[in-house]
Amino acid sequence: MKEILKGRVWKLGDDIDTDIIIPTQFLALKTVEDMKRYAFYPLRPKLPELINPGDIIVAGKNFGCGSSREQAPEILAALKVGCIIAKSYARIFYRNAFNNGLLLLENDELYDCCNEGDQVSVSLENNRVLLGKKSFRVASIPNDLLQMVEAGGLVPFMRKRNGK
């Protein structure tokens, strides 16, 4: 895992649910590549075109609440979101995100201090997020979970481990 992640901030609010991340009517599309164009469709339909690889989503509380649809973290990983930094996450989404190679970090204050378009950098070694001169602490993520994110999720991680 790269120790420093740098990216532009996209700001979303509280309770961003899985139906917003990927609405039901797009779930039967064949591939994640087809689906990712509809990320956040009910809220900000243009966002998938604007997100560049490495960009960072900053959100409020309870990100990913709602259904267990794994396509939600999968399409964010497919959009190559660098990581998400939210005040808190819903638990099913939390597991699904790491299982799909999407890094989630928690911080209570960043959301209220940053603006959309700001540049932030995340140091995984120091567990800090830098916004200009301000620094915010995030809880450390265990190394084996970081390795799983780096491998692209639980399945590729298991295959690598099992030598398949």
Partner 1 sequence: MGMTIGEKILARASGKALVKPGEIITAKVDLCMSNDGTTHLNIDIFENQLKAEKVFDPRKVVFIVDHNVPSESAKTAEVHKKMRIFAQKHNIPFYEGTGVCHQIMIEDFIVPGQLIIAADSHTCSYGGLGAFGTGVGCTDFTSVMNTGEIWLMVPETLKFEIEGSFKSGVYARDLILKIIGDIGANGANYKIMEFGGSAMKNFTIDDRVVLCNMAVEAGAKSGLVEPDEIAIEYVTSRGRQDMHIFKSDDDAVYEKTYQYNLDELEPMVARPHCVDDVVGVTQLGEVKIDQGFIGSCNNGRIEELRAAAQILKGKKINPYVKLLISPASKTVYLQALAEGLIDIFVECGGMVLNPNCSVCWGSCQGVIGEGETLISTGTRNFKGRAGHPNSSVYLASAATVAASALTGKITDPRGRI
Dihedral of CA atoms 83, 84, 85, 89 in degrees, nearest 10, equals -140
Identity of the residue, 65 or 83, whose beta carbon is nearer to partner 1 in the bound complex: 65
In Å, how far are 9, 63, 81, 113, 133 from 78, measured between CA atoms?
Answer: 17, 18, 8, 28, 31
Identity of the residue, 30 or 133, whose beta carbon is nearer to partner 1 in the bound complex: 30
Q: Which of 27, 52, 109, 135 binds partner 1 (CB under 8 A)?
A: 27
Residues 111-150 within binding reach of partner 1 (CB under 8 A): none
Q: Would you say the C-alpha torsion 64, 14, 48, 40 has a positive or negative sign?
A: positive
Under the binding rule (CB under 8 A), the answer on residue 106 touching partner 1 is no
Secondary structure (3-state) at 159: helix
Binding residues vs partner 1 (CB under 8 A): 15, 17, 19-20, 23-25, 27-30, 41-43, 45, 61-62, 65-71, 73, 88, 90-92, 95-96, 99-100, 153-156, 158-159, 164
